[in-house]
Structure 1
C-alpha cells in the first residue's frame, strides 16, 4: 500500500492546480498522488479538450501567487474590453481596462495548452506522483486516514482525499454526498470562429431569448464561441453545414465584428447547475466541478473553482502534520461558504433574467444594463465578480 499525505482524484484543471499549489505554499513538501483516468495527450481527455476558458483578473493573481502564471501567460490572450448587450434592444454595458486600471480584465486560455504545461510541471516535481491512467473505485475512511482502491487493484493510503473528478464524481458517490441539480433547459454549443474584423482583445456577451452568445478573444485572431440555445434549436443548428451555421450565428450575434468567416469543429453539452452543499466530510474535500458546475453565463464557474483550490491549498499548507484534520477542513468549508452561495445564486439569476423574451423581463434587463453603464454604484458589484476580486 502506497502512503501519501494527500490523494487527489482527478488531474484536470482543478486537481492539477491543487497539487502544484500545495507544495508551493507548504514549508515542508507533502507527498501527493494525482489519480487521473485520461492521458493528457489523448484527444478524448474531457478536462483538457479543445475548449477555452476565461481566467479572471483575480484568478490570474492567484496563479501568480502560486508561481504558475509565468508559463500559462505564454499561451494566454488578454481581454482588454468586455461588451455586454441585449439582442435587438438598446440596453448595453461596457467594461474596459482603462476604466478599471488593470493591464487585462482577464485572459483566455485553451485547456489543452494548460494541460501540457501542468503535466510538464508535475513531471519535474518529485513530491507529486501522477497515477495515469487510473481511477478511484472504492473509498474507505478510518479515523486517522483514508484508503483509496484504484481500478487496477492498487491501494493508496493518505491523510486526505480530495475529489476533483468532475460533476458526476465517483468519490462523492462513494462517500454518499448528495448532488443537487437544476436543468436550465439549454444546450451550450462551442466552437472556434474567425471574424472579418480583428478582435483586438474584445470579449462579447450578447443576450438572446434562448440564452447568451459569448465570443472570447483567442490567439491567431480566433474567437471562442459559447452559444446557449434551447435543446431543439441546438440540435437543428448542430446539423447545419458551416455556411448555414455562420448565417444563423450572424443573425444572433450581429455585425460588431463584421462577417463571421469560418467555424471550426463544433461540440455541444447540456447546461445544468450541479452542486453539492457539503464540500467537506471526514478526511474528504471537494473542489472544481465536483463541488459545483455552473452555467457559463458571465464565466464564473472555473474562477470560483480556483478560489476553492487556492483556499484548500492554504489550509493544507498550514496543517502539514495532518492535512486532513477536522480543523483544517472546517476552516476551508467556512471560508468558502459565502462566495460559493453568492456565485451560484448570481449565475442562476442571470440565466433566468437574460434567457427569455418576456416583455417585463426584457424592459427590466435593458433598464438594468443602461443604468449599470451610467451608475458606478450599480456597476461596482458586477465589476468585482467579473474581475474575480472576491474575498476568500
Structure 2
C-alpha cells in the first residue's frame, strides 16, 4: 500500500473488489500505471467482494487469469470443474458434460471469494505500477473535457487527485454511477439465493450440479477439501424460514430438492442470503468515467456468468487502453470504442441469463415437458452438446486475446 497518492494518475480505479483488483493487474501488464481507491481495508470481514461466497470461473476466464499472471496461485486454492450435470427435479431429462470429451482438462474452476482476494492482493503487492489505498472514500467526482478530478478522504485527511480516466468498480449500488446519472434497467426476480458450503457423504469428483426445482435453480459447485458450494434459490417470503432451520433440518430439506447423487448432506456451514436482481447500466461511460463489473451489470447466478462477464470487460478495457497513442485514456473515442466492442457480449449474456431464469421458473406442465426434452436432446446430440460445452467454458462469447487458448 502506498502512503500518499500522487497528484495525477493516468487511470484511477474506484473500488478494489474482484473487478477493480483484476483490472489493476491487467493495466499493469500493459504498462499502464493506476491508483486504486478502496473503501475497505484489506482482510476486513465487512469487505463484500471477498466474503465467504464462491465464484465459478469458466475455462475462458481461467485463461484471462493466467494472462494476468495469477493463474498458478489461483489454481492452488481453486477446485477444477471436470463435469457438469444439469437436471430438473421430479423429471427424467438431464444433460452431462465432461471436460475430456471436449479436449479440455477442466471446464472451469470454483473458488471462495476470499481466497481469490488473497491471490489478487498478493500479485498487486508485487506491481510497482499499482498504487493501492485503503480504506479511502471518494467524496467528490468532477470532470471536464481534459481530466477528471476526485476528492479523496484518507486517514491523513482529504486529497485531490486528477486522472485521464476514472473506472468505477464500486459495485451494483455504485453511488458514483448514480451521481453521473447513468440509469440502470433493473429486473427483480422475486427470489433470493441461500448460499453456504456443505459437506456430502460421497466425493464430488469435480462435478458441478445445476438442478432446477419448483422454486428455482439449485447449484452445487465443487470446492477444495471435498466441500460443495450451495446456491439455492427460494421465494423471498420463504428465505427466513430456511435460515432459521437447524443444521439437520436444513440438510434434510436440501436433500429433498437435490436428491441423493452425493449421498447424505453431512455438514452445513454458515448460511447467507442475497436478493436475485438483474441490473444493467444503460451506458458504459459518461465523460471520462467508465463502469465495469457489477457497477456495469449484475446478473442472476443461474448461468454463472456474473464475474465471467466482468472479466471479459476487464480484458477488453485493458486491451483498448493499451492501444491508445499517448496517454489520453479517457478520450471519448477510446471509451466509445470500448462500449461498442462490449455491446454484443453484454446483450447476449444478459439475455441468456434472464431467459434461463424465466424459462426454468415456469411451472406450466407443457413448458416443463419441453425443458426436459431439451435437456435430453443436449445430452444425446453431439453438435448441440458441443455448443453447450463451448458456452459453459465461455468460448461462445466475445473474447479478447487474454481469453484465447493459444495465448
TM-superposed deviation, 1:137: 2.3
Aligned twin of 1:202: 207
CA RMSD in angstroms, aligned pairs only: 1.2
Q: Which moved more, 1:376-385 or 1:338-347?
A: 376-385
Aligned twin of 1:136: 138
Q: Is 1:391 aligned with 2:393?
A: no
Aligned twin of 1:126: 128
- Hey, what's the Cα distance between the residues in 1 that align with 2:147 and 2:188? 37
Aligned twin of 1:322: 328
TM-superposed deviation, 1:2: 1.7
Report the secondary structure of 1:159's partner residue: strand
2:8–2:161 CA contact under 8 A, matched in 1: yes
- Hey, what's the Cα distance between the residues in 1 that align with 2:202 and 2:114? 26
1:10–1:164 CA contact under 8 A, matched in 2: yes
Q: Deviations over 1:206-265 (max 9, x none)?
A: 000111110111011111000011112212111101000000000010000000110000
Structure 1 segment 271-350 matched on structure 2, within 5 A: 271-319=276-324, 321-350=327-356
1:78–1:104 CA contact under 8 A, matched in 2: yes
Structure 2: unaligned runs, 5 residues or longer:
1-5, 400-407
TM-superposed deviation, 1:124: 2.1
Q: Deviations over 1:15-35 (max 9, x none)?
A: 0000010121x2xx3331101
Q: Of residues 61, 65, 68 in structure 1, which corresponds to 2:67?
A: 65
Aligned twin of 1:91: 93
Aligned twin of 1:246: 251
Report the secondary structure of 2:73's partner residue: helix
Aligned twin of 1:358: 364
Aligned twin of 1:51: 53
Aligned twin of 2:373: 367
1:84–1:206 CA contact under 8 A, matched in 2: yes
- Hey, what's the Cα distance between the residues in 1 that align with 2:7 and 2:228? 45
Aligned twin of 2:192: 187
- Hey, what's the Cα distance between the residues in 1 that align with 2:388 and 2:347? 16
- Hey, what's the Cα distance between the residues in 1 that align with 2:387 and 2:286? 32
Q: Which moved more, 1:142-151 or 1:376-385?
A: 376-385
Aligned twin of 1:108: 110
Q: Deviations over 1:64-100 (max 9, x none)?
A: 2222212111111100100000001011101001211
Report the secondary structure of 2:52's partner residue: coil
| Divergent runs of 4+, >6 A | none
- Hey, what's the Cα distance between the residues in 1 that align with 2:25 and 2:358? 37
Q: How many residues align?
A: 389
- Hey, what's the Cα distance between the residues in 2 that align with 1:243 and 1:110? 24
- Hey, what's the Cα distance between the residues in 1 that align with 2:338 and 2:27? 14
Q: Deviations over 1:180-205 (max 9, x none)?
A: 21101110000000000001101100
Structure 1 segment 248-263 matched on structure 2, within 5 A: 248-263=253-268
Report the secondary structure of 1:150's partner residue: strand
